[in-house]
Structure formats: structure tokens, C-alpha cells
Structure 1
Amino acid sequence: MSTSTVRPGLRGELWRRKPVGESANPHGPRLERTIGTFQLTMFGVGATIGTGIFFVLGQAVPEAGPAVIVSFILAGIAAGLAAICYAELASSVPVSGSTYSYAYATLGEVVAMGVAACLLLEYGVSTAAVAVGWSGYLNEAVSNIFGFSLPQALLYAPFAADPDAPTGLINLPAVVLVGLCMLLLLRGASESARANAIMVVIKLGVLLMFVVIALTAFNGSNFSDFTPLGKAAVGTAAGTIFFSFIGLDAVSTAGDEVKDPQRTMPRALIAALIIVIVFYVLVAFAALGTQPWTEFEGQQEAGLAKILEVVTGANIWGTILALGAVISIFSVTLVTLYGQTRILFAMGRDGMLPPVFAKVSTRTGTPVNNTIIVAIAVAILAAFVPLDYLIDVVSIGTLTAFVIVSLGVIILRVREPDLPRAFKVPGYPVTPVLSILACAYILSSLHWITWVVFAGWVIVFLAFYMFYGRKHSVVGRLQRGEITPNEIPSTKEH
């Protein structure tokens, strides 16, 4: 008898779902709604442009040659299909937590925790990776302006994937960047959104400057051998480039802090997607027109700035671009750090993590504990782990999240066809199916080692869920009658 009751009970616990109504109007602590459409769009652009275009060309171009333009378009199509699916779920489940919250409402608790593992890995690693890339542009700007370079010991991690790559003691600029972003986020969401919007406008202006100047040295012969490494390499490069589309997911982490989220979030997602793809393709095309694809090898750090210096024969334009990149990548780090803190907040509010993650400051209206904890973890990762080990792991987390979102659209359409939706995916069900297939294609091109690391992390996270989250889940406690909705604490501190 005990066996027959335990097994269904365990199965019921693993697959229980958070009602869509409760997801959209959660019990417990809440954040303040202060972010409008323009600022939210700038969140998406800010978290995306900068990561990919400012230093991923040095990795992606050697993987695919001039055909990397197709890789950008392929990654953009996959991201675009997923963004459309995000827009529908964001209008239906307008809450912080991104794909974790969507999976909880559509697929069940255990899937939501698996998705959370993807998201936390994705955001933590991407923030560290971007901070690592920031160091190169900062050093370039310091060198051009003041005539000296920062010490190598303070610019690089103690080891590198490439035996010929430089090493040091600690990537100190990366740690400083994370610390500055943490301080800004602690001031409040509206202040952070305003600062990010200013930085995004600057970065777009700098990238337009690069395109105009680079096109003056355009050489069509650089595209003559368009696929020197074969067609399969295009997919491999697309997997690397997908690292840069994390910003689209960052928009959906702000659900609790957006004004009129049912309308604002879909609009911001689509607008950010269009801006990102246009700028990525323009910059990649202009950069490839200036030099043979083989010369991109090793240009991960301040690559675009070096291209401008070669084209113009003067340091001034490269210096301007390097300074623009310093500001630009600051905004990427700010938004991805923000995104992870809000995912942790949603999980803490749901009881899937200890209550410390659900605490909200009465003074700033932000999850202060989450911001400090995440900043410390990311700073350690950025200080001591080289960029080479990080990018593909981010891609697999992003792609998995995109697949879950696309699947969630289909499930929610079937399960709750009459649910109010401010935005509906056009071309349903073809669009979400194509999104799943596109993401699956890019996933299939990733190295097996990436899969091993990813699987290991998810298993560890699910083990934590089995021992902690499953027992402390607010949904579970409500179902068992241990608490009532009115007894869920509205956690405030300070």
C-alpha cells in the first residue's frame, strides 16, 4: 500500500505545474514595475550586441571563413523564431524568471528546475565571459590614450586552453567590471535601466562608425572562397555565435518590473531582435571586407579596434571604438547580471531555493542578496577561467531554453486555448516547430565535451531539487495544505 501511494505521489510532485494565473499574479514578495518599452528594448539590445560582435568574430570567422555571415543569419533565424515564441509566453505569463517560469506553468516542476539549471549556467558563464572580453578593450583604450599597457599578470587567468595563449595571475579588470555592475544594480532597477539605455545608444553609434569606416577599405576578393572550411563549419560557427543572442532571454527576466508587461514585453522582444540582427550582419560584412578571413585568428581581444587602426593608419578611430566597446560591454554585463538575479528571485519566491533568494530591499525594491551572491560567483569565474572554456557552454544553455519556450507555446495553446494572449505566434504551429528544429540543428553541431559538462551540471542541479526544492516548493506546500496563499510571506528587508 505504501508503495502504491509513494510512487504516484513522487510522480505527481515532479510534474506538478504552477497555474498560469498564479504565475502571472504570484503570491509572496514582488518587485516594483518601473521599466517601459524603450528601456526594455535596450535591455535586449544591451545584453546582446557587444557579446557577439565585439569579440566573438575572432572565434567564429576562423571556424567558417566568410560564410560566417550565413552563420550569423542562421543563428539570427533560430533566435528570431524563438523570440516570437518568447513574445507569446511573455504576454501570457508576464513574470520574472524567464524560461524557468514558463516551463513551470507548462511542463512541470522537474522540467522547470532543469531549465533553471540551463539558465543559471547560461547567465553566470556569459556574464563572466563578457567580463573577460572587456579586459582586452580596456587595455587597448589605456594603451592608446596613456601610452602604456596594463600588466599581463592582471589581465589574464592563471591558465589558458591554448598553450600559446598568455597567462597571468588574475583578470582584475573583469572583477572590477562585475563589481561596478553590482553597485549599479543595488541602486535599483529603474536606475540600471536608464544607465543601460544610455550605454546602448553609445554602442550603436560606435558600431555605425565602424561600418562606415571599414567599408571604405572594402575588398570583394575576401569573399571569393566563401566556404573554405565546408558547409558543416557554418553550423559550428552558428553555435558559437548563438552565445551572443542571450540578450533576447534577458528581456523576459524583467517580467515583474515592466509596466503593462502583456504588451511591453512582446514589443521589446521583437524590436530588440530586429536591431540586433541588422547590426550583427552589417558589422560582420564590413569587417570581412577589410581583411582575409584567415587574419581573424587571435583577434578576440579588441579585434574591431585593430581593424580600424589598419584601415585608417591612425590610432584615434581604434581608440574611439575601444572606448565604445568598454562602455558597450559594461551594458552587457549589467543586463546579464541583472537577469540571473531575477531568475534566482523567482525560484526563491517559489520555494525552490532558500528564502534568502526571495528577499527584497524595502529601500531599493531589488533582491539585494541575489545581486551580491551572483556578483561574487561571477567575479571569481571571470578572474580565473579563460574565455575559451566558456562560450560553447553558454550556447547549449541558451538553445535548450529556446527549445523549451517553443515547446511551451504549443503545450499552452493545446491545454489553455482560451487563455488571454496579447501577442500570438504567427504561423502557428509551424513557427514553434521550426524554432525547435533550428535550435536542435545548432545543438547537434556542438562538441561532445560541451554536452558532458552541461549534463553534469544539470544532474547536480536536479539532485539539489530532489533533496530541497521538491520538499519546499510553494506549489507543493499549498497542495498538501501546509500553507494557504495568505500565509506566503512578502519578504522584505532593510
Structure 2
Amino acid sequence: MLLDRIKPLDAILATAKKTSLKRTLGPIQLMLFGIGCIIGTGIFVLTAAGAQKAGPGLMLAFAIAGLVCIVAALCYAEIAAMIPVAGSAYTYSYATMGELLAWTVGWALILEYAIAASAVSVGWSGYFTGTILNQFLGIELPQWLAAGPLALGGEPGGLVNLPAMAIALLITGLLMIGTNESARVNAVLVVIKVAALTAFMALTFTSPEFDADRFNPFLPAGVFGGFGSGLGAVGAAATIFFAYVGFDAVSTAAEETRNPQRNVPIGLVGSLLFCTVFYILVAAGAIGTIGGQPIVGPDGIPFPAGSEQLALQCAMPQYSAALVCSDEALAHVLRQIGFSGIGNMLGIAAFLALPSVILVLLFAQTRIFFVMSRDGLLPEGLSRIHPRWNTPYVVTAITGTIVAFAAAFFPVGQLADIANAGTLYAFLMVAVAVMLLRRSAPDRKRDFRVPALWLVAPATILGCGFLFLNLPAEAMLVLPIWSLIGLAVYFGYSRRRSHLGRGIIEVHEPEYAEIEPGIPGVDDRKGA
């Protein structure tokens, strides 16, 4: 039977207990951790791509994506508080749906976090070249060094995105040698990002340039652009869903959280609600001041975001100031309405803050690798701990190299769409897991229960599936292809090496008990 390997819930909890990690995180730290990971490339960069897909309907797109994330977060909150261990959706699936489906979830999460880190690296590159090099140093980086040549649709660009590749490799090196941000530095970076967005809203909403007429037509491409088109408010929601990716990383910290039954739900839902309100207001400020209408072709259909056709249009003088043409959207808006100095400061905020998002995403990806290796599904050598650095340096180096390659050669919008494909699948499976656990373990203590689970969980499943079908067709194809590769690995290696398959129910390796990857923003921890 392919679905007969279900890891006992008590064994998972016993494994977590034996690792003896210090529970140091409280609700505020978790919210800061979530906000710090969520607010990043999605709002600082993808605002332009979202506007090209939906126009002023970008505001509705943020609401749609936020609603799907909130119902998914409620499912995450119940199961993460109930199973406070590392591994996120992968571990939850292992305890409910069995090893095979858990493998597919873990494999999708590997895709999500790695590609998301690449997308953030490309987003950082736009602010680095536009604000730091161009505005402050007066250096114009050649196009062939500032953009990659590849796109899923075959559109040409530059040669290599050198800054994106460099920042990805730099963060990888920091993680390998064990350099963690302190909790204080992480909190400062969160404050910088929130302060920058607050200043942006204040300046745009009070600007004389703000005009309600810029919101008409509100939905130039309609609400629903058609499956696989990536257009309309729903298509934009499928892309800017990336702006919310990261809240699930909070659940990977459940094993190191004080009173996880209370604090994990607060961290998950609180950070999401905070960011959703911010995103809608920031989108309104940007569109109300300089407009956000998409650039359309002769057929009246918006050009694909990140395409060669759009790039050619943006090179024309009449579109040079358009929101949809900017690589650093929010800083660009402020410069256009006469706040160049503050726009540059916002660019600096993004330049300083986005590397912390890359770091958190790479951390979460290596943690998934770590737990899958601990279960025997991946070679244990991948999670080998460096004797001096005390970090899983092998998997970090491999991951970082792949992230740097993708960042060097792919555009941010398409990287975000690929990452979203894996994320939506993982979220969907978490909702299924919550429903199955309610049936298989109805008496187990739940300090947080999803209200109206009969509605919330199916809404999560339908919402994630609907957004997935509204991704561009090329991005939708990546997940099944990646999954087929994963199934080949599973049946060729993982299934016969699995600890559970060999009768090892309670997995516990002393090497891993002493040292596990640290959470950025929290002091390094060893066994208590």
C-alpha cells in the first residue's frame, strides 16, 4: 500500500521532545518573525507586476490573496499548535496522510522556499541598482549585468543579474558559517520596513497628486482573466500571493516557542492581518498618486508582466514614469510626486531589509531538508553539521547555489509565480490534514480550534486551488514537473531508506539533538 506509512503523532511529538531545544520565542517575537518574513519583495517590487495584471484592481487582488492566506493561517494555527515541531506542512502531512503525500508536500516546500529566496534576491537587486548605485553613487549598471536573459516564455533580457546572484551567495555564506541576526537587529529591520511603508502611505494619501479618478477603470482586465492567463484581479492575486509567503515559516519555529498552543496562532494570524491592511493601503497610495493602469496591446489585453513586449513599451518616453514599468515601485512613486529624498530612503530601507527575508527563507528551506533527512527520506549527509560552524553546511551550500543561479537568470515575477505554485499546494494539504486530524484524533487536546472548520478548511482548499489555476500556464506546469522528479527520487531512493519504512518509529539522532539550525532573529540555541 502506497499510503500505509503514517507516522504516529505521539512518535513525532516524542522526537521533538528529545531534541530539547530551548523554548524562547513569545507571541511578539513570532509576530515580528512573521512580519519580517512577509513584508519583502511582494510589496516592494511585485506592486508593479500586480498593477500590470489588474490595474487599480490590485487592491482587490491583495484582499483576495489575503483572504485565502487568513483561512489557511487558521488551519496552520490549529495544527501547528497541536503538533509544535519543526517541518511545517511536511510533518503535519506525515502524521495524517502518510509518507508518500508528506514527501510531495516536503518536495513542494523545497521548491517554494528556494525559488522565493531567488525572487527576493532579484527584488533586492532592483533597489540596489536603482537607489544605491544610480541615485547615490551615480553609477549606471549595464543592462547585461542587471537582468537575467531567461524567462519561461522565452523573452530576452540582459546577460546575468549580478547583484541578485551576489546577495544570494553572500547570505548563503553567512548561514553556512553560523552568523545569526540577533533578536534586536531583526526587530530593527522590521521597524525599518514598517516605518518606510507608513511614511509611504502618509505622503501619498496627503499628496496633491492623489486623484480618485486614477482608480477608473478599477478593473481594466476584469476580475477573472481566464485560467492560465494570469490576468485580472484573480490573476494578480495569484502572483502577489507571494507578498504573503513567509507566514508559514512561523510554524517552523513552533518547536522553539513558549506556550505554542497560544503563541503560534497569535504569530500566524496577527502577522497576516497586520500585513494585509498595510498592503491594501500601500497599493491605494501608489495608484492614487501616479496611476496603475496596465499597458495594453492592440487587442486591448495587458502585455504579460516581465515580457519583452512590455519592456519595449516601457522604453518609450510616454511610459517611462509608469508604475508598471518600475523595478523599485514604491521608491519610484515617491520620486514621481516630488519626494525624491524620501523615495531614496525607502529604497535604502528595502536594500537593508530584504536580505533578512532571503536569510529567513533559506533558513526555512534548510529546516525542511533537515527534517526530511532526519526521517531518512533524504541522505543524512545532506544535513551533516559542520564541526566548527555548527550549521548544516552541505545542504545550505547546495541550496544557496541553486538560489543564486535562479536569481541570476530569471525575472522576479516569474520566480514568484513558480514559488506560489509550491506554496498553494502545501497550504491546501494543511487544510486537508486539519480535517483528517479532527476525525482521527478527536480527543487530542487543542488549545486553538479553527472556528467553523467545515467552512474554513474547504474554503482554504478551494481558494488555493482557484489561485493555482489562475497562475500563468508556464508556472502551473512547473509544479507537476517538479513533483514527477520528486516521485522518481522517492521511489528510487527515499521509500526504501525511510526510517518509518524500516520500522524506526521514533527518530532521534544525537548529532541533531545537540545542534539544529538556528532561527534568524533568535540567539543560537543548543540542547537545554
**Structure 1 and Structure 2 fold alike (TM over 0.5):** yes
CA deviations 1:260-310 (Å, max 9, x no partner) are: 4333322211111111101111101111101222333222x1111111011
Instruction: Select which of 137, 144, 150 maps to 1:146.
Output: 137
Q: Which amino acid aligns with 1:266?
A: P
Counterpart position of 1:7: none
CA deviations 1:123-177 (Å, max 9, x no partner) are: 1111101101111101122221122223333322234568876403x22211222
CA distance in 1, matches of 2:331, 2:242: 21
Change (3 A) 1:484 1:402: closer
Q: Which amino acid aligns with 2:9?
A: V
CA deviations 1:43-75 (Å, max 9, x no partner) are: 211221112111111111111111111110010
Q: Which amino acid aligns with 2:123?
A: G
Q: Which moved more, 1:420-429 or 1:344-353?
A: 420-429
Change (3 A) 1:432 1:19: same
Counterpart position of 1:8: none
CA distance in 1, matches of 2:505, 2:460: 39
* Distance apart, 1:186 and its partner CA: 4.1
Counterpart position of 1:3: none
Contact 1:14 1:108 in 2 (8 A): yes
Counterpart position of 1:81: 71
Counterpart position of 2:185: 195
Change (3 A) 1:134 1:412: same
Q: Which amino acid aligns with 1:228?
A: P
* Distance apart, 1:334 and its partner CA: 1.4
Matched, 1:427 2:418: no
Change (3 A) 1:178 1:193: farther
Matches within 5 A, 1:374-453: 374-453=399-478
CA distance in 2, matches of 1:391, 1:109: 28
Matches within 5 A, 1:140-289: 140-142=130-132, 143-160=134-151, 166-168=157-159, 170-186=160-176, 188=178, 191=181, 193-215=183-205, 216=207, 217-232=209-224, 233-289=232-288
SS of the aligned residue for 2:437 comes to helix
Contact 2:246 2:361 in 1 (8 A): yes
CA distance in 1, matches of 2:458, 2:179: 35
CA distance in 2, matches of 1:162, 1:488: 45
Q: Which amino acid aligns with 2:162?
A: L
Matched, 1:16 2:5: yes
Contact 1:361 1:367 in 2 (8 A): yes
Change (3 A) 1:208 1:486: closer
Counterpart position of 2:313: none
Q: Which amino acid aligns with 2:292?
A: W
CA distance in 2, matches of 1:99, 1:486: 18
CA deviations 1:412-466 (Å, max 9, x no partner) are: 0010011122211112221112111222221222233322221011011011011
Contact 2:414 2:475 in 1 (8 A): no
CA distance in 1, matches of 2:266, 2:440: 25
Change (3 A) 1:249 1:464: same
Counterpart position of 1:467: 492
CA distance in 2, matches of 1:455, 1:424: 33
Change (3 A) 1:363 1:35: farther
Q: Which moved more, 1:363-372 or 1:347-356?
A: 363-372
Matches within 5 A, 1:278-357: 278-294=277-293, 295-299=322-326, 301-312=327-338, 314-357=339-382
Change (3 A) 1:174 1:486: closer
CA deviations 1:304-348 (Å, max 9, x no partner) are: 111101111x42111101001112211221111111011111101
Q: Which amino acid aligns with 1:82?
A: A
CA distance in 2, matches of 1:14, 1:317: 56
Identical counterparts, % of pairs = 39
CA distance in 1, matches of 2:127, 2:201: 18
Contact 1:100 1:113 in 2 (8 A): yes
Contact 2:251 2:264 in 1 (8 A): yes
Contact 1:188 1:365 in 2 (8 A): yes
Q: Which moved more, 1:39-48 or 1:414-423?
A: 39-48
Q: Which moved more, 1:157-166 or 1:211-220?
A: 157-166
CA distance in 1, matches of 2:425, 2:164: 27
CA distance in 2, matches of 1:367, 1:35: 22
CA distance in 2, matches of 1:370, 1:167: 30
- Mark the runs of 5 or more structure 1 residues left unpaired by the alignment: 1-10
Contact 1:199 1:328 in 2 (8 A): yes
CA distance in 2, matches of 1:279, 1:64: 19
Counterpart position of 1:4: none
CA distance in 1, matches of 2:170, 2:28: 24
Counterpart position of 2:35: 45
Contact 1:30 1:490 in 2 (8 A): no
Contact 1:32 1:365 in 2 (8 A): no
TM-score (norm 1): 0.90
Q: How many pairs are equivalent?
A: 476
Matched, 1:456 2:481: yes
Q: Which amino acid aligns with 2:116?
A: S
Change (3 A) 1:262 1:472: farther
CA distance in 1, matches of 2:507, 2:267: 34
SS of the aligned residue for 1:474 comes to coil
* Distance apart, 1:115 and its partner CA: 0.7
Change (3 A) 1:116 1:486: closer
Matched, 1:117 2:117: no
Change (3 A) 1:364 1:31: farther
CA distance in 1, matches of 2:508, 2:135: 60
Q: Which moved more, 1:206-215 or 1:328-337?
A: 328-337
Contact 2:123 2:412 in 1 (8 A): yes
SS of the aligned residue for 1:21 comes to helix
* Distance apart, 1:30 and its partner CA: 6.7
Contact 2:68 2:460 in 1 (8 A): yes
Counterpart position of 2:127: 137
Change (3 A) 1:449 1:151: closer
Q: Which moved more, 1:425-434 or 1:445-454?
A: 445-454
CA distance in 2, matches of 1:353, 1:485: 17
CA distance in 2, matches of 1:388, 1:274: 24
Q: Which amino acid aligns with 1:221?
A: D
Counterpart position of 1:25: 14
SS of the aligned residue for 1:191 comes to coil
- Mark the runs of 5 or more structure 2 residues left unpaired by the alignment: 225-231, 294-321, 517-528
Q: Which has the higher helix share?
A: 1
